[in-house]
Amino acid sequence: MIKLPATHSNTPAPGEGYLEETGLWVRKYAHADAIPTGQPALFLDRDGVINDDVHYLSKPEDVVILPGAAELIAAANKAGVAVVIITNQSGVGRGYLNWDDFAAVQAKIHQELAQHSAVWDMVIACPFHAKAKPPYDIPSHPGRKPNTRMIEIAEQALGIDLGRSWVIGDKASDVKCGLRAGLQVALYAGTHEKSLRDEADKALALATADFPVSAINALSEALPYIPFLN
């Protein structure tokens, strides 16, 4: 178990979230309780997948929702599939933004999605990074993707069937996280210039006979791939 100061362990956090026992920011939304246990989930990275990847996004006015994000999330809502955001947020750990900034950005993204009848059910964020400031300077923290703590928290909270769940991200670490957690399939969504360099090759190379990986350009292309949303 990661040892953190009491002020960073199981305490309320901005944005109606809390910092759980390893220091991850977690918020489960009330409507998630209506989702039956044993259902698959759709795990989504945030920056570069749902919204434009502004470097260390800290201002609500910089939020731009990417094409197809609201439509995909709304389809999952309609199908009764949990939508769980799992996001590395080393900017918090590095001191480029704080949890209040993160919460303000979250509220703006949530507002933009809600205009299209799209809501996420749970959000988990990891501020840890080897080069972060104390107490967040923990190399290979179990919550930082490609490690799987964020997925495990969602599984416990929502009763998710991981073996039928999907992950979509714009980095190979998102795909590797899904592989390590025992998810069914991954989609690599190369939505910005940085992700188009070599991340696609790295992500696709993680595919196995039991864990297929496909590449798409944006979430607007994802819906036909996912059987439980069609």
> Distance between alpha carbon 188 and the CA centroid of its chain, in Å?
13
DSSP per position, 46-77: -BTTTB---TT---GGG--BPTTHHHHHHHHH
C-beta of residue 124 within 8 angstroms of C-beta of residue 26: yes
Catalytic residue among 45, 53, 121, 174: 45
For residues 157-181, b (16+ Cβ closer than 10 Å) or e, as one string?
A: bbebebebbbbbbbbbbbbbbbbeb
47 is known as an active-site residue: yes
Catalytic residue among 33, 47, 161, 210: 47
Residue 45 among the catalytic residues: yes
* Cα angle, residue 142 at apex, residues 159 and 211 outer, rounded to 5°: 60
CA atoms of 230 and 223, how far apart (whole Å):
7
Q: Which residues are catalytic?
A: 45, 47
